[in-house]
Amino acid sequence: MYDFPRLRPFGRLLLAAPLILVLPACSESLAPDNAEWTLTWSDEFDGAAGALPDPSNWVFDIGTDWGNQQLEWTTDRPENVSTDGNGNLVITAREESFNGQPYTSARITTKDRFEQRFGRFEARIKLPSGQGLWPAFWMLGADFDEVGWPQTGEIDIMEFRGQNPTELLGTVHGPGYSAGAAIGGAAEIPSRLDDDFHVYRVDWEEDRIVWYFDEQAYFVIEPDDLPGEWVFDDAFFMILNVAVGGTFVGSPNASTTFPQTMVVDYVRVYERN
C-alpha cells in the first residue's frame, strides 16, 4: 500500500469550507516509476493555427445546459476551439449572444474515439480565471448512453472554479454520491493556477484512484471510501471543456473579463506494463 495523504470526503457543493491540503504534503511523489507505464494514446496538438482538433481523436458536444444550468453554448467553431500553431489546443470562452445564450465556449470528448479501462490520464494545462468560469478535464464511463449518469461513473481529474485561483479540485460521482453529494478532495496551491501550465493527472487502478498535481499526490479514493457502488471498473472516455456560469460556480460578474482561454499543451494516457 502507498503511504499517501488522505482527506475525508466533502460534498461538492459544500466548498465554502473545503478540506484543504497545502502542497507539498509529503517528501516524495507517490507515482510508480515511469518505466512501469506505456503510452497508449496522446494528442500533442501540433495542428496549424486556427485548425480544429483532430477528428480522429475528438468529437464536439454542441449545445447548452449540460445539467448544471450553465450559460454557454458550446460550438465546433475555431473561434471557440482550435490549435494555435505552437503545439497547444485553445478552448476560448467568449461573451457573445449565440443561439439564445450570452456566452460561447467548447466541449470536446474522446467518446467513440478512445476509451480505456484503468491507467494514467494526464494533461498539461494553463487555466483561465474569473468569477463564473469553470474549466475541467474529466472522464465519463463508456456505457454512458446505456446506463446514464451517475450510474456510468464520473472522474473529475481537474476542476477549477475561476473565482478561487489557487484551489484545485478532484472528484468522483456515482450512484449515491453524485452532484451535491459527490466525493472529492481539494488542494490549496501556493501560486495561482492561471499563471502557468501545470500537469493534472489521475492514476486509476482496479481498487484505487489517486489525484496528482505536478507529480504530487493530493487525494485518493478507494471503494471503502464511497457511500455507494464503486463504478470505476469499465472503460472511460475523456472530456475537455470550459463552462460559464451554472450552479457550481455562479454567474460571471463585472469583474470577469472575456475572452478567457484554457490552453492545453498535451493529453496523454498510459497503461501499466
Backbone angles phi, psi at 23, to 5 degrees: -85, 150
First-residue to last-residue Cα distance in the chain? 19
d(C-alpha 221, C-alpha 209), whole Å: 5
Q: Is 223 helix (H, G, I), strand (E, B) or coil?
A: helix
Query: DSSP letter at 145?
Result: H
Backbone angles phi, psi at 265, to 5 degrees: -75, -45
To the query of whether residue 159 is one of the catalytic residues in this protein, the response is yes
Contact 216/24 with Cβ under 8 angstroms?
yes
Omega prior to 9 cis, within 30 of 0: no
Report the chain's C-alpha Rg in angstroms. 17
Only one residue has cell 463585472, namely 254
Only one residue has cell 485548425, namely 51
For the record, the C-alpha cell of 173 comes out as 460521482
Percentages helix, strand, coil for the chain, rounded to the nearest 5?
5, 45, 50
Q: Which of 159, 188, 229, 271 is catalytic?
A: 159
CA-CA-CA-CA dihedral for 56, 239, 136, 88, to nearest 10:
-10
Q: Which of 79, 154, 206, 271 is catalytic?
A: 154
Active-site residues, by number, are 154, 159
